[in-house]
A and B are shown apart, each in its own frame.
Chain A
Amino acid sequence: MARFTRRHVVTSGCIVLAVAVSLVGAATIRDGVALSVALVIAIAGTATFSARGMRANHPTLVRVVLSAVAIDCALVSTFFFSATTNFNLAIGAAMSIVLLGLSFLTGASGQISLGSSAFMGIGALIMAMWANHHASTPIVVTLLIAVAGGALAGLLLGLPATRLRGPYLAGMTLAFAVAFTGIVNTFSSWTGGDAGLQLPTSATAPHWLVALFSVSTSPFVTNTMWITDITIVVTGVAFFFMANLFASRTGRAMRLLRDNDVAAELVGISLSRTRVIAFIVSSAYAALGGALWTLINNSVSPPSYSFALSVTILSLVVIGGIGTIPGALIGGIIYAYSANVISWITTQTGLNPQGNFASQLNGIIFGGLLIVTMLFAPMGIAGAVRHYWLRRRAGVVTE
C-alpha cells in the first residue's frame, strides 16, 4: 500500500466536504449530484496535476488543466453572484489582464512604461469604433481586432523604446500617455472626443443561459453574468498564454536580458528584438483589458484613460508584485474593490463625498501606496509570499 502523504489526506478531505455540501445545499437531488460530480472532478484534477512530478514532466498539460479548472470554478460562481458582484469581478478581471501585461514588461524585460492607460484606451476605442461600424462581428473577433490594434501601437512605440534606458523610456511613455488625449481630441469625429462612444447593441445573454434562471430574473442580471463569463474566459486564456510565455525560451531570454544585457547579447539574444516583443505583448494585453472594459460598460469614455490611470496601474502592479502572475490577480481584486473601500473610508472619516478631499482620495491613496510599497516592500505582496516560501523551502532542505 502506498504511503499516505499529506496531499492524499487533504484531497480526500476536500472531496468528502464538497460532496456533503452539494448534496445538502442543492435545491434538487439532480442538481446536488451534478454539482458534487463537477466538484470531485475539479478537486481530483487539481490535486493530481499540481503534484511536483506532474509539474516537472508535463508542464504545459498541467497549466492547461489548472487553467481550465480555475476558469470553470469562476464561471460557476458567477451564477450565484449578484449582478453588482459580477460587474466588479469583470472589471477587476479585465484590469488584471492589463496588470499582467505591465508586470511582464517590467518584471521579465526590465522596461518601465507609464503608458498603459493609453494602450488601454486604444483597445477600448477600437472596440467601440469597430462595433459601431460593423455591428454583426462576433464579440471575440472584435476583441481580437482591438488586441491587434494594441499590438501595432506597441510595435510603433516599442521600436524607439529599445534604445532607451530607464528614465528616458519612462519619460517617453509618459509623453505618450499625455499625448493620447491629444490624439483622441484631434480625431474627435471618429473617437467621439471627450464624450466617447456607445456600443450600438449591448451584449445579451444567449437563450440557453437565460433558461437556467427563473423567468422573473431581469435581463440585466443575465446579461451581466454573460459578460462576466466572457471576461473570465478571456482572462483565463490570457493568463494561460502568459504563463507559457514566462516559461518559454523567449521568457527566459527576456529575464536574462533584464539581469545582464551584455551577457545576453554574447549568448546571441537579440536585445532589440526581445525588448520589442515584450513591449508588443504588454501593449496587446493592455488593449485587451481596455476593450473588455468597453464591453462591460457598454461604452467608452476616453478621458478616463488618463495618465492618472497609468499611475494607478503601476501602483497595482507594484503592490501585487512585479513579475508575478498571482500579483496581477491580487492587483485586479484590489482595483475592483478600491472604489468601495474608498467610499467606506470617506464615510468613516466623515468627509463630504462631493468635496475636494473625497474626489482626490483615490489618487492620494494609490500614489501613497506606491511610494510606501516601493520603499519598504518592493517585491509586492505576491513577491514577498514567494520569497518567504523559497526561504522556508531552502531552510527545510539544509536542516
Chain B
Amino acid sequence: MDPFLTSRAVSDILGGITNGMIYGLVALSLVLIWRSTGILNFAQGAMPMFATYIGMVAFSHVFSYWPCVAVSVFVGFAIGGGTERLLVRHLYGKPELNPIVVMVGFLIVLEGAAAALWSTQPRGFINPFSPIDFQLGGKPVALSAFSLYEIITALVVMTTVAVLFRYTKLGLQLRASALAPEVSRLLGVRVNRMLTLGWVLSMGVGTITTILVASNFFTGLTPQVMDGVFAFGFIAAAVGGLESPVGAIISGVCIGVILQFVGDFLNSNYIILVALGILIVSLMVRPNGLFTKSTARRV
C-alpha cells in the first residue's frame, strides 16, 4: 500500500484534488451569482481578495488567525451586499455587454486599490496548519495538514451551500427569486433582498476560498493572487455549465487533477495552455456546459 500512496501518480491525484477543490469553490460561487442574478462576476476573485486584505492584513496586529478569518468573511459579506445594491442593481435588464464590462472595470480598480494600499509584496499568515507533507514509511505523501485543511473546509462549505439551497425556507426563496422573480413577488417573497443575499453568500464562499489560497505557505496574499485561480475556476464553471453547482465542483476537481499531471509530466508553462485547450474543446462540444440539462420549461 505504501509504495502506491507515495507514487507519482497518486501524489499528482492528491495534489490535483486539493487544488481542484479550490477551483470548484470558485466555480460554485460563480454559479451562485449567475443563477441568482444572471451576471457573470468577473470580479469574483478580486472582491474577496480585498476583503481578505482588510480582515487578514489590516487587523493582523489586533487579532490572531481565526478571528481575522471571521472578520474577512464578514467584510466579504458586506462587500458582496454593497456591490449588489450600489453597482449591480443598475445592470439588470441591460445588454449582455454592460455587466461584463463593469465587473472587469471593478476588478482592475480593486486590484489597483489593494496594491496602492498594501503594495504588491506577498504577505504570509501564520496559521496552525503545517504545509509539510505527511510521511508514510519515510516517503512523502502529497498531503499535508494544510492540504487537509483546504479539502475539509471546501467540503464543509459545499455541503452547507447545498443544504441551504435544498432544504431551507431561505434556499427555496433564493431559488424561486432566480427562476421566477415576478411570481415570487406575488407570493410575498422579497425578491430584491434575495438577489442581494445571493451576492452575499457568493462572497462568503469566495472569501473563504481566498483565505485558503492566501494562507498557503508557498503563495501568500498579493493583489493578483486570485487571478490564476479565477481563470481556472471560470474554466471549471464554463466547462461544467454555469447553471449547475454540482457540475461546477466536479469540473473543478477534474481540471485540478488534469492540470497537476500536466505540470508534473510536462512543464508548468503548459498548464494555462492545456486549461485553455480544455475550455475551447468542451465549449465546442457543448456550448452550454457538460452538465446542463436541456432547459426546463416554466409554466
Docked complex Cα distance between A168 and B106 (Å) = 19
User: Does A83 sit at the interface, judged by CB under 8 A?
Assistant: no
A392 to nearest B CB, angstroms?
25
User: Does B234 sit at the interface, judged by CB under 8 A?
Assistant: yes
Cβ contact within 8 Å between B102 and A370: yes
Contact of A167 among B40, B117, B235 (CB under 8 A): B40
Q: Which of A97-119 contact B (CB under 8 A)?
A: 106, 110, 112, 114
State which of A210-218, A230-238, A287-295, A360-368 sits at the interface with chain B: A360-368
Q: Which of B228-282 contact A (CB under 8 A)?
A: 228, 231, 234-235, 238, 242, 267, 269-273, 275-276, 279-280
A371 contacts which chain B residues (CB < 8 A)? 87, 102, 105-106, 109
B238 contacts which chain A residues (CB < 8 A)? 168, 171-172
Q: Which of B18-77 contact A (CB under 8 A)?
A: 34, 40, 42
User: Does B284 sit at the interface, judged by CB under 8 A?
Assistant: yes
A308 to nearest B CB, angstroms?
7
Task: State the interface size on chain B (CB cutoff 8 A).
Answer: 47
Contact of A370 among B105, B115, B284 (CB under 8 A): B105
User: Does B112 sit at the interface, judged by CB under 8 A?
Assistant: yes
Known interface pairs A178-B231, A182-B269, A363-B109; A378-B96 also in contact (CB < 8 Å): no
Docked complex Cα distance between A174 and B87 (Å) = 22
Cβ contact within 8 Å between B112 and A363: yes
Interface string of A166-193 (1 = CB under 8 A from B): 1110111011101100110110000000
Interface string of A351-384 (1 = CB under 8 A from B): 0000011011111101111110011001000000
User: Does B98 sit at the interface, judged by CB under 8 A?
Assistant: yes
User: Does B152 sit at the interface, judged by CB under 8 A?
Assistant: no
Q: Which of A362, A369, A370 has the most CB of B within 10 A?
A: A370
Cβ contact within 8 Å between B231 and A366: no
Cβ contact within 8 Å between B231 and A174: yes
Docked complex Cα distance between A322 and B101 (Å) = 12
Task: State the interface size on chain A (CB cutoff 8 A).
Answer: 47
User: Does A165 sit at the interface, judged by CB under 8 A?
Assistant: yes
Cβ contact within 8 Å between A182 and B113: no
Q: Which of B102-142 contact A (CB under 8 A)?
A: 102, 104-109, 111-113, 115-119
User: Does B193 sit at the interface, judged by CB under 8 A?
Assistant: no
Contact of B105 among A164, A170, A315, A357 (CB under 8 A): A315
User: Does B299 sit at the interface, judged by CB under 8 A?
Assistant: no
Contact of A166 among B97, B269, B273, B283 (CB under 8 A): B97
Known interface pairs A168-B238, A360-B116; A175-B279 also in contact (CB < 8 Å): yes
Docked complex Cα distance between A361 and B94 (Å) = 29
User: Does B100 sit at the interface, judged by CB under 8 A?
Assistant: yes
User: Does A314 sit at the interface, judged by CB under 8 A?
Assistant: yes
Docked complex Cα distance between A322 and B98 (Å) = 12
A110 contacts which chain B residues (CB < 8 A)? 97
Docked complex Cα distance between A384 and B97 (Å) = 18
User: Does B166 sit at the interface, judged by CB under 8 A?
Assistant: no
A362 contacts which chain B residues (CB < 8 A)? 112
User: Does A318 sit at the interface, judged by CB under 8 A?
Assistant: yes
Name which residue of chain B comes closest to A185, CB basis: B269
A27 to nearest B CB, angstroms?
49
Cβ contact within 8 Å between A112 and B273: no
A192 to nearest B CB, angstroms?
15
Cβ contact within 8 Å between B271 and A360: no
Cβ contact within 8 Å between A160 and B102: no
A247 to nearest B CB, angstroms?
23
Contact of B227 among A112, A163, A165, A178 (CB under 8 A): A178
Cβ contact within 8 Å between B270 and A186: yes
A90 contacts which chain B residues (CB < 8 A)? none
Cβ contact within 8 Å between B106 and A167: no
User: Does B190 sit at the interface, judged by CB under 8 A?
Assistant: no
B228 contacts which chain A residues (CB < 8 A)? 178
User: Does B287 sit at the interface, judged by CB under 8 A?
Assistant: yes
User: Does A311 sit at the interface, judged by CB under 8 A?
Assistant: yes
B40 contacts which chain A residues (CB < 8 A)? 167, 170-171
Docked complex Cα distance between A378 and B91 (Å) = 12
Cβ contact within 8 Å between B105 and A311: yes
Name which residue of chain A comes closest to B110, CB basis: A367
Contact of B287 among A164, A176, A361, A367 (CB under 8 A): A164
Name which residue of chain B comes closest to A370, CB basis: B105
B87 contacts which chain A residues (CB < 8 A)? 371, 375
Interface string of A310-325 (1 = CB under 8 A from B): 0100110010001000
B280 to nearest A CB, angstroms?
5
Q: Which of A171, A356, A369, A378 has the most CB of B within 10 A?
A: A171
A393 to nearest B CB, angstroms?
25
Cβ contact within 8 Å between B231 and A368: no
Contact of A182 among B100, B115, B272, B279 (CB under 8 A): B272
Docked complex Cα distance between A172 and B278 (Å) = 11
User: Does B90 sit at the interface, judged by CB under 8 A?
Assistant: yes
Cβ contact within 8 Å between B104 and A175: no
Docked complex Cα distance between A378 and B99 (Å) = 11
B234 to nearest A CB, angstroms?
5
Name which residue of chain A comes closest to B97, CB basis: A112
A164 contacts which chain B residues (CB < 8 A)? 283, 287
> A175-B276, A361-B112, A371-B106 given. 10 additional CB < 8 A pairs?
A167-B242, A168-B238, A170-B104, A172-B280, A315-B105, A362-B112, A367-B105, A367-B109, A370-B105, A378-B98
Closest CB pairs A-B (n = 8)? A370-B105, A367-B108, A166-B96, A363-B112, A167-B40, A367-B109, A364-B112, A360-B112
Interface residues of B (CB under 8 A from A): 34, 40, 42, 87, 90-91, 94, 96-98, 100-102, 104-109, 111-113, 115-119, 227-228, 231, 234-235, 238, 242, 267, 269-273, 275-276, 279-280, 283-284, 287
**Pairs A–B under 8 Å by Cβ, sample size 14:** A106-B97, A160-B283, A160-B284, A167-B34, A172-B283, A175-B275, A182-B272, A356-B115, A356-B118, A361-B112, A367-B104, A367-B107, A370-B101, A371-B109
